[in-house]
Structure 1
Amino acid sequence: MKIHLETDRLRIRALSEQDLDGMFALDSNPEVHKYLGNKPITKKEEALKYIKDIKKQYEERGIGRWAVEIKETGEFIGWCGLRLYTDYTFNNFTNFYDIGYRLRPEFWGKGYATEASKACLEYAWKVLKLEKVYGITEKGNEASHNVLLKIGLDYLEDFYYEPENMMLRWYNIAKPN
């Protein structure tokens, strides 16, 4: 998958095996996983599997999460992007596009998640021609809740996600006219 988006401060591109160390640093961090079921990874092989799964999504669905790096330095700070959920059901929905992001803690609070997500929504509307995008956060994750609101998603309701025994929040946004 060829993807290359740029914002003022960020470069957004397809994930690759070259992102292994960055993905491991991201997903092995317990702070990152506080609102993701508290299951940080412990081996680089797990990060590599995640990258391979995303690359498979690129091939099968034409979309998947993307690497986010600082434009000035090229440093991998996390991922963002769209995912077409065909394999899970959330809040009685399947076959929907979800916007998501995950950044290393040292990059939190700097507006990067908002900046990257705005670029992803533009891609959703202009390139993919989507009519609606959804978002999900764990209840209590106020930082992610605020990012989704800042980029224009509407909070709809809370719902219980039984497979992970979690209360989640459900959001959506329709394509602007």
Structure 2
Amino acid sequence: MDLILKTERLILRELKLSDAEALFEMDNNPNVHLYLGNEPVQFIDEVHDYIKSIQNQYIKNGIGRFAVVLKETNEVMGWAGIKFVTESENNHVNFYDIGFRFQEKHWRKGYGLESTKAWLDFGFNKMKIQVMNASAHVDNDGSNAILQKIGMIQKGHYFYDDLPCYWYELKNPN
């Protein structure tokens, strides 16, 4: 894939194995995993495996989570993007999910909203996705606020691995 998206402050590009240290910093933080089951990664090898899995998604599905790079410093802050989900979740299968995750030091600066808006625009206008889905833990106020700000509509409540989550949906307005 040769896909790169740019926003005012961000570059969204494919994840590379060289991003592992930054992603380990993010996913090793218990605060980042507070609403993800409280199981932060312990070893960088777990991050290498995760990146390789995402790279396989690029090949198989033509899309996946991308590194979010701060233009000003060239720092990898986390990931955002569209994932094609082929396993069952909330009685859905073969759907597009928009998501994001950032290092804690980059929270509450608008990067989640900025990157998610770019991906939603790409998904609807370039990929012609008809319906975008997302989910967030019911207590994750930050993620829920971002999803609502981009227009996602809460369509229900379900449990994902015993975690209470809201299910969101947004139909392509085009």
Shift of 1:89: 1.3
How many residues are paired up?
Answer: 174
Partner of 1:34: 34
Give deviations 1:72-108, integer Å, cap 9, x for gaps: 110010000000000x211100100000000001110
Partner of 1:79: 79
The 5-angstrom pairing of residues 30-109 of structure 1 reads: 30-86=30-86, 88-109=87-108
**Alignment of 1:166 onto 2:173:** no
Partner of 2:15: 15
| Cα distance between partner residues in 2 of 1:24 and 1:160 | 26
Give deviations 1:24-63, integer Å, cap 9, x for gaps: 1111111100011111001010000000000000011111
Give the letter for the 2:163 counterpart. M
Aligned residue for 1:42, secondary structure, equals: coil
| Cα distance between partner residues in 2 of 1:82 and 1:2 | 15
Partner of 1:122: 121
Q: What is the percentage of aligned positions where both structures have the same residue?
A: 40
Tell me, which stretches of 5 or more residues in structure 1 are unaligned? none
| Cα distance between partner residues in 1 of 2:105 and 2:22 | 13
| Cα distance between partner residues in 1 of 2:114 and 2:55 | 23
Aligned residue for 2:97, secondary structure, equals: strand
TM-score of the pair, normalised by structure 2: 0.98
Shift of 1:172: 0.7
Q: CA RMSD in A?
A: 0.8
Shift of 1:160: 2.1
TM-score of the pair, normalised by structure 1: 0.96
| Cα distance between partner residues in 1 of 2:133 and 2:20 | 28
Partner of 2:150: 151
Aligned residue for 1:160, secondary structure, equals: strand
| Cα distance between partner residues in 1 of 2:159 and 2:55 | 29
Aligned residue for 1:155, secondary structure, equals: strand
